[in-house]
Amino acid sequence: MNGSNFGGPAHKTGKRSLYVAMSVMALILLMAVAGCSKEEESPTATAVPASSDGGSQVASGVSAIAAERGLTEADIEAAVKTFVPSGTHDEYILFASGGHSGQMLVIGMPSMRLLKVVGVYTPEPWQGWAVGDASETSHILDGGDLQDGTELTWGDTHHPALSETAGDYDGEWAFINEKANGRVAVIDLRDFETKQIIKNPLSMSNHGATMVTPDTKWVIEGGQFPAPLDGSYASIDEYEEKWRGVLTMWKFDRSTGRINYDESFAVETPPYWQDLCDAGKLVSAGMIFCGSFNSEMATGGIEDGNPPLEAGISQADMDYLHIFDIDKMTAAVAAGKTDMINGFPVISLETAAAEGILHFAPEPKSPHGADVTPDGEFVVVSGKLDPHVTVYSVPKIKEAIAAGATERDPFGVGILDFDTVVEVQVEVGLGPLHTQFDDQGYAYTSLFLDSAVARWTLGGSFSDLHSEPDWELIHKTPVHYNIGHLVTTEGDTVSPDGKYLVAMNKWSIDRFNVVGPLLPQNFQLLDISESGTTMPVIYDSPIGIGEPHYAQIIKADKLNPWEVYPEVGWNPETQSLDPRAVAPGEEGVTRDGNNVTVKSTLIRSHFTPERVNVKVGDRVTWHMTNLETAFDATHGFALPGQNINLSLEPGEHQTIEFEVTDEGVFTFYCTEFCSALHLEMAGFFMVAPN
Amino acid sequence: MQRFSQIKEKAFGPRIPREIVFRDRFRFILPTVLMLAAAIVLFVSTFFPYWHMDMDAPQYPRGLEMTIFVNRVEGDVQEVDTLNHYIGMRPLSEAGELERSMSVIAIGALGMLIIAAIFIHNPCALLLTWPVLLYPAIFLFDLWYWMQDFGLNLDDSAPLSNIIEPFVPPLIGEGKIAQFTTYASWESGLWMSMGASVLIALGIFFHRRAYKPLLDEARAENNQHGH
């Protein structure tokens, strides 16, 4: 202890409190004597003088390291742009699909550090997500079981969608589709946990999912592989007659944080293999645009001498951009113009065509992506097999619809005239797949075959934002390799940030150390903050968990996640205090016939109780509350022999139920290294013979 | 009647003749204001923190903190208790239970003593203000008492009892307990209570100066009557 002890510079509360006390006393005295109430200013801390840290010395140190490691000036610049020092946070958060890992990835940007793999369609043991059958999270996963009860333990996630308010991310919810079996999940961004998984009652697949309308009233699930909607058998010869596509409109209820199944419905579509969708915004609000790529209705049969699917599907020069009208859909539903299929209301293709719910605009050749510009005025369709992006004008589409379709497809759906609705076509390169936007009036399109990102200028209201001519290719940056989607910072909202772009490359080939024949994918970070031809790659980030497709990037300060659960005894499934929460002193084991109830608490570094005695044939209901309130004080609960592992985060309550079938003694233990006595945090689950 | 007023005068000191009040108002108002202010400051201090401790350790980048008010402890009490159980310290809620439950009433009583002292014009007033004068010291002594009682009486069977010696955290300034560095500071409430002590001291000084001449006069008068 030295002389100056009420507080060094870091602990100045002592001195400040003295000032507060003196101020308060002076105030009271002043009031008592003079009856006047003039407030005194508290003294404020003086600013610390900025330190001068010899910039030239730093630079010479850096160049020595750079020389030794063989780094170029551009490398150093990239490193400086992406390095996020220890203890500081990333500016943006990337939510990427985890592909066929079935999960959702959460990555910090620009560091590209993986922050979390959120368990969604696949059990995730670290989070205790859906491990075994005993926990409540496993029941959430069960929400996506097939109609016949088949349990699914993997998924193929493609497109995450962050919830939006007025067309801008609000950081509250995330949705993600599952293509392989046609499911949709809801993730709460307060705790980054999956809250709901819904199985589409009409379809085994989706692809234009998930996308949200600008106020997240609807979560859109566009289909992909057609089949009879009732799940029955129909031969391939009946393809045109009985196989159908479907667009499902899931009603999201913010107050419950769940999709309301009963207020949701679907629209039947032709079996054209619908692809990516995007919801309209601003001038196009109320519209949904989905690409498609099999208007040929090819059905393959390579083994019978037919052209293979890949050739058959790419025969025609044009496929159809699907244009849906949400108001007309909901009007038809309200008017009862729906058929019930598997207990779910469906607007038939006939009704959709007759009521003008669905229109087509021709689009060149098996395209990918239908992306609405930030002002909502244009829809950009990337050609995939055509080197152009085709830009549709929403006002022209509206006029054409008002004027009436000139042509109809075999199912009676009105086809708008291509030249009437197209604003422009821009040649961007080979294999254009997907387009996003920035704040400088540029669009960015991924070029799969060119392995590049194209930057091109927009027209219309974006014309004033850039100095180049409208609708023109400006630059291509090579990426490594075979880019699928790309994503820019808030690039599919009404106000993109235009700071970074992530190229989601399907192949990495030689970019990383070889880890066997299955290689990670490569997320490449590009700096797009400068205009013109400058948009360098500044970081390579291997993704070794699945094949991510779409992603969205949100400004980190829009997220407001909990650090610990709001109250001790919190049930993350209901996001409320669990009435079964165990308070200190309530712990114990009680038996009622074959039903054994265990009430446990967890706190560093012990379970209470530590001995649980049961018998073969008992049904165990185990309530567990983590009493911790400290940041990061998570406990795990592993019960060997029962396929159980839970993650009990600070304040979390969980209840598990299971049947005991085999005798033996099993040591349950904490799976999160919680404290110096973590290894001692264990107990005994003893199963006696009956 | 006269007898009663004599007893009253004896107990509460002489009343001030009206003409003196008018002539010499400041002399009587000053001690009253100072003592009233002391009572108010003391009362207000109960809403402010008295003592604070910041605790820094590698795994707590935001630190832990604990703030003591006269009637409660705020801050990371649960976390501190969780950590303390490793070294065998009793939960903080068991410290100073009586003091915390009585504090507001006790401070109310101190305030009443001050008010009473204003109306008592003889040296008894001084006696009534002693508890207020000493109150900050009593608070600090009590705090020290509980800290040493808790710090020196650790449970030997606690898991980490072998790595930590019994200890008394300092009442003010820096201390070290295992991986924690602690910083104790005196907070606004305590400073206010000290301020109240100063006000009381001043008040009682001017109180004495105002009433002593009257008291002496009365005494002289009594002596005269006695002769």
Condensed to tens digits (0 to 9), the pLDDT of residues A545-596 reads: 999 999 999 999 999 999 999 999 999 999 999 999 999 999 999 999 999 9
In chain A, residues with a C-beta closer than 8 Å to the C-beta of B37 are 25, 28-29, 32-33
Backbone angles phi, psi at A303, to 5 degrees: -70, -20
Name the DSSP class of A307: P
Indicate whether A225 pLDDT > 80.
Answer: yes
Which of B25, B40, B191, B200 to mutate: most A Cβ within 10 Å? B191
Helix, strand, coil % over all residues of chain A, rounded to 5:
15, 40, 45
What are the structure tokens assigned to B220, written together? 């002289």
Q: Does A9 touch chain B (CB under 8 A)?
A: no
A543 and A580 in one domain?
no
DSSP string, A547-585: ----EEEEEGGG----SS-SSTTEETTTTEE-TTPPPTT
* CA B14 from centre of chain: 30
Q: What percent of chain A has pLDDT over 90?
A: 88
ipTM associated with this complex: 0.79
Boundary-marking domain end, from A508, A537, A558: A558
Residue A477, pLDDT score: 98
Residue A2, pLDDT score: 39
A590 and A543 in one domain?
no
A-B C-beta contacts closer than 8 Å:
100
Question: Which residues 6+ apart lie within 8 Å of A192 measured at CB?
Answer: A106, A116, A118, A561
Q: What is the pLDDT of residues A481-520, one digit of tens each?
A: 999 999 999 999 999 999 999 999 999 999 999 999 999 9
Domain of residue A379, CATH code: 2.130.10.10
Residue A47, pLDDT score: 41
Backbone angles phi, psi at A88, to 5 degrees: -110, 160
Degrees to nearest 5, angle at CA A48 with A47 and A54: 140
Q: Which of B42, B182, B10 is nearest to A13 (CA)?
A: B182
Boundary-marking domain end, from A507, A535, A558: A558
Give the closest of B40, B48, B76 to A32, CB-based.
B40
A575 and A550 in one domain?
no
Indicate whether B98 pLDDT > 60.
Answer: yes
Three-state DSSP string of A160-218: EEEEEECCEEEEEEEEEEECCCCEEEEEECCCCEEEEEEECCCCCCCCEEEEECCCCCE
Structural domain total, chain A: 2
A21 — pLDDT class (breaks 50, 70, 90): confident
Q: What is the pLDDT of residues B168-212, one digit of tens each?
A: 999 999 999 889 999 999 999 999 999 999 999 999 999 888 888
Indicate whether A685 pLDDT > 60.
Answer: yes
Largest separation between any pair of C-alpha atoms in chain B: 83
Rounded to a whole number of angstroms, the distance from the CA of A479 to the nearest CA of chain B is 40
Region of poorest pLDDT, from A120-129, A337-346, A362-371:
A362-371
Q: Is residue A63 part of a domain?
A: no
Three-state DSSP string of A27-89: HHHHHHHHCCCCCCCCCCCCCCCCCCCCHHHHHHHHHHHHHHHCCCHHHHHHHHHHCCCCCCC
Classify the C-alpha dihedral A225-A230-A233-A237 as positive or negative: negative
Residue A10, pLDDT score: 46
Q: What is the pLDDT of residues A300-333, one digit of tens each?
A: 999 999 999 999 998 888 999 999 999 999 999 9
Q: Does B118 touch chain A (CB under 8 A)?
A: no
CB A67 within 8 A of CB A81: no
Residue A183 CA: distances (Å) to CA of A67, A177, A348, B154, B220: 52, 6, 21, 57, 103
Indicate whether A56 pLDDT > 70.
Answer: no
Mode of pairing for the β-strands spanning A483-488 and A588-592: unpaired
User: Do the Cβ atoms of A630 and B170 come within 8 Å?
Assistant: no
Q: What residue segments make up the domains of chain B, in order of their start?
A: 20-226
Q: What percent of chain B has pLDDT over 70?
A: 97
CB A482 within 8 A of CB A510: no
Give the closest of A1, A13, A628 to B173, CB-based.
A1
Residue A53, pLDDT score: 52
- Cα A396 from Cα A528, distance rounded (Å): 31
Which domain does A620 fall in, by range? 570-688
Nearest CA in chain A to B195: A25
Architecture of domain B20-226: Up-down Bundle (1.20)
Indicate whether B1 pLDDT > 80.
Answer: no
A535 and A393 in one domain?
yes
Question: Which residues 6+ apart lie within 8 Å of A14 measured at CB?
Answer: A5, A6, A7, B52, B172, B185, B186, B187
In A179-330, DSSP assigns E strands to 183-188, 193-199, 208-212, 218-222, 245-253, 258-269, 274-279, 287-292, 318-325
A628 and A526 in one domain?
no
Rounded to a whole number of angstroms, the distance from the CA of B6 to the nearest CA of chain A is 33
Residue A57, pLDDT score: 66
Q: Does B200 touch chain A (CB under 8 A)?
A: no
Indicate whether A42 pLDDT > 80.
Answer: no
CB A551 within 8 A of CB A94: yes
